[in-house]
Amino acid sequence: MKMVNWMNFDNVWNEKVKETEEILGAFLPAEEGWAKTVMQAMNYSVNAGGKRLRPMLMAETYRLFGGTGKVIEPFMAAIEMIHTYSLVHDDLPAMDNDEYRRGRKTTWVVYGDAMAVLAGDGLLNLAFETALKSFEISESDIKRNARALAILANKAGIYGMIGGQTADIEAENLGSKVTEEHLLYIHEHKTAALIQAAMMIGAVLAGADAQQTALVERAAYEIGVAFQIQDDILDVTSTLETLGKPVGSDEKNNKTTYVTLKGIEEASREQREMSNHAIEQLESLEEKGFRNEFLMELIRSLITRIK
Ligand code: GRG
């Protein structure tokens, strides 16, 4: 595996976060009219910051396969809206009951439960309205846009993220009866599914074929599960100040995690192994001339991320 010395990785990352936020901002609602409060709550949630990892993975996978156009932009905004809605709902008293997220008070604390439910619903709906705008940007065969939409709907829904969240909530009552297989189902669906959607949509919109898209789906599975394992690790090793959200949340909610199942050292070893394997799979595309060094470094940086 090649190691690239990205001395200015953080600068490039920050620049890309800025670009992503400009794209996202263009699709957010104006706060006006009788429904103004829900729009304020939606914008509050999205503008709270965050790493913008999913739109960035999407854009970089698009570039990996040679994409250069603007058709990716509505999808970048859409995936961040879906991710943000999932956080808004996950923080509700009926779910994790968390008061801090992205270094700010959570949406339900500021706007109340009802408005937080609506803001989440509003973001999910707006995500699809936004992704549909990609059809107005016809740079290629619009079958690609349709395929990308199908991926987004599938990976965010009951066969993806919502399915994972369902299993996660029910597992809270099972305590130590949660097996590794069960936990992997939860991690794959709750977390990896959106990361798979991000990268697969980037690939499909740039014209990747079915085999290449399947390779991306497998690599993104490992990136997503590794990302969740690191999340589990940070929940016991980090602080509220660094993470911008409470630590010890898993213990509070009686959650079995990779850390409770295997200990920090083994969990950490497995997350490194998965990430490195995902990078190797993606690097195998170089044979066909597909190469994006920033994407590889981005995935590598997730292994040691601290927030
Ligand atoms: C479908 C109602 C409903 C809820 C969705 C996926 C989910 C359930 C809730 C999100 C909570 C959670 C811990 C998800 C796992 C994925 C994860 C680690 C999210 C945090 O993602 P980051 O670190 O967040 O990319 P930022 O704030 O940086 O965008």
230 lines ligand 1 (CB under 6 A): no
Determine the pLDDT at residue 288.
Answer: 94
Determine the pLDDT at residue 147.
Answer: 98
Instruction: Give domain limits for the chain.
Output: 6-304
- Give the Å distances, CA to CA, from 246 to 50, 100, 202, 260: 15, 6, 32, 18
Alpha-carbon span 209 to 214, nearest angstrom = 9
**With 0-12 CB in 10 A as exposed, 13-18 as middle and 19+ as buried, what is 128?**
middle
Q: Which residues contact 95 (CB under 8 A, 6 or more apart)?
A: 89, 169
- Whether 5 has a pLDDT exceeding 80, the answer reads no
7 — pLDDT class (breaks 50, 70, 90): low
Q: How many CA atoms lie within 13 A of 139 on its CB side?
A: 15
Tokens of 98: 């968390």
Q: Are 302 and 223 in contact (CB under 8 A)?
A: yes
Mutate to test the pocket of ligand 1, among 88, 118, 231, 253 (most ligand atoms within 8 A of CB): 231
Quick one: which atom of ligand 1 is closest to the CA of 101?
A: 27
- Whether 91 has a pLDDT exceeding 90, the answer reads yes
Determine the pLDDT at residue 161.
Answer: 98
56 lines ligand 1 (CB under 6 A): no
Helix (H, G, I), strand (E, B) or coil at 112: coil
Determine the pLDDT at residue 2.
Answer: 45
pLDDT in tens, 149-168: 999 999 999 999 999 999 99
- Whether 220 has a pLDDT exceeding 80, the answer reads yes
Determine the pLDDT at residue 190.
Answer: 97
pLDDT in tens, 117-134: 999 999 999 999 999 999
User: What's the 174 CA to ligand 1 centre distance in angstroms?
Assistant: 22
What is the pLDDT averaged over residues 102-116? 96
307 lines ligand 1 (CB under 6 A): no
pTM for the full predicted model: 0.95
Looking at CATH, the fold of the domain delimited by 6-304 is given as: Farnesyl Diphosphate Synthase (1.10.600)
User: What's the 87 CA to ligand 1 centre distance in angstroms?
Assistant: 5
155 lines ligand 1 (CB under 6 A): no
106 lines ligand 1 (CB under 6 A): no
Determine the pLDDT at residue 1.
Answer: 41
